[in-house]
Amino acid sequence: MSRLLDIDRVRELFDLEGSYLAASGGSYQDDPNPAWHALRSEAAIHPGTVHELSGLSTPASFHGLPEPDRQHFSAFTFAACDAVYRDPETFASSPDGADIMGGEAAITNSMLSMGGVQHRRYRSLVQTSFTPAKAEWWIRNWIEETVDLLIDSFASDGRAELNVDFCAAIPVLTITGSFGFPVEQALDVRQALHTPLELIEMLMPIVAARREQPQDDLISMLVEAEITDEAGATQRLSDPEIYSFALLLLAAGSGTTWKQMGIILNILLSRPELLDAVCNDRSLIKPVIDEAVRWLPTDPMFSRWVMKDVELFGTQIPAGSVLHLCLGAANRDPERWERPDEFDITRPPKPTLAFGGGPHICLGMHVARAELTVGLNALLDRLPNLRLDPDQPASRFVGFYERGSTALPVRFG
């Protein structure tokens, strides 16, 4: 990557306000946790959707929620959400059931909505590129360069807006880099995110080139991957299957890591003593990330389809219902964490549900952690005396089903 990124184009493509408004509950600026505490203390499971139960009057369609004609339930305790994740046969991730067998994955049929054997097969194909051991591969090939390139674009200014100019661009540049897109094309990919056919046209020549001559990147790994069917025969992924993976990774990994990084920087910048401590002792970055994804996970709700009549923590849920898991509430369950509303990096480590659980647990969580760690370290290394800009409006947490920060204007030097 030799060129500087066109930062004005980055700003245009990652319009913060627009992004939150388009993405469910955009203008929400309250803290949902008091409502979630009240709901959780009444019952583990409630009939209704999370936003209705939390007092939002916006229709489900505004939030992009599925299946308006089905019955909806929501789970608010850690134990209930965890139990649901551990039983994918009863609580499937697509309305078609837990085990869709056979058939070629259509471009829209991503791994996220597959179940059972088919999901295991597809996931195991890519899993090896997403293990903790592979984090270094991601860092060395794409993350480090991306982060440095972005900081280069504002390091001499003494001020920056980190949410868009830094946090938003890192995950997109990382994933597009791993697909073999040069950095100047990465922003075109971002632009094409909502028009999959355009994106596929951009991927076609890369997939064809890697079929000819594989390289050390993710798209080559997909091209070379072999899947074994029930009869034990192996075959390579088809082009549409590769496009489907690529679209899933871009969709699942971009907004999430952007907004989670904005949340973490908001937390650190509004606690100068903590920022100072982390700056002096970088081993604190890990507990900061762990505590931040517990305290304010960017995607606080995922849904499952109920495949058979079931009694769950005292509530009867009929087959065919949709069950929403309020991971944000589960992560602040006082049964599991003392003083759950306090941001405290000295807590004993304990798994949270910020990255989900069960067979669909976030595939990219180690990549996300690597992006967050490298990004935070580089900011602290390269921008001395980093602080919120006192002349700009304070940053706030916004969004309901996609939580993040408003602009993060900083000064340094």
Residue ranges that bind ligand HEM, judged by CB under 6 A: 93, 111-112, 123, 171, 175, 248-249, 252-253, 256-257, 260, 297-299, 302, 354-356, 360, 362-364, 367-368
Nearer to ligand HEM by Cβ, of 174 and 395: the residue is: 174
Nearer to ligand HEM by Cβ, of 227 and 362: the residue is: 362
Residue of minimal Cβ distance to ligand HEM: 364
Measured from the CB of residue 156, what is the shortest distance to ligand HEM in angstroms? 30
Angle formed at CA 142 by CA 141 and CA 145, multiple of 5 degrees = 105
Measuring CA to CA, how many Å separate 26 from each of 166, 307, 310, 335, 398? 21, 31, 34, 30, 7
Nearer to ligand HEM by Cβ, of 129 and 153: the residue is: 129
Measuring CA to CA, how many Å separate 17 from each of 21, 26, 137, 228? 6, 8, 34, 45
Measured from the CB of residue 167, what is the shortest distance to ligand HEM in angstroms? 11
Measured from the CB of residue 257, what is the shortest distance to ligand HEM in angstroms? 4
Nearer to ligand HEM by Cβ, of 26 and 253: the residue is: 253
Nearer to ligand HEM by Cβ, of 143 and 389: the residue is: 143
Local structure of residue 411 (DSSP, 8 states): E
Measured from the CB of residue 176, what is the shortest distance to ligand HEM in angstroms? 11
Local structure of residue 109 (DSSP, 8 states): -
Start-to-end Cα distance in the chain: 26
Two structure tokens written together for 357: 């659980």
Rounded distance, CA 52 to CA 54, Å? 5
Residues written for the chain: 413
Measured from the CB of residue 232, what is the shortest distance to ligand HEM in angstroms? 23
Nearer to ligand HEM by Cβ, of 256 and 373: the residue is: 256
Nearer to ligand HEM by Cβ, of 253 and 409: the residue is: 253
Angle formed at CA 290 by CA 335 and CA 346, multiple of 5 degrees = 70
Measured from the CB of residue 90, what is the shortest distance to ligand HEM in angstroms? 15
Measured from the CB of residue 233, what is the shortest distance to ligand HEM in angstroms? 24
On the CB side of 302, CA atoms within 13 Å amount to 26
Rounded distance, CA 248 to CA 297, Å? 20
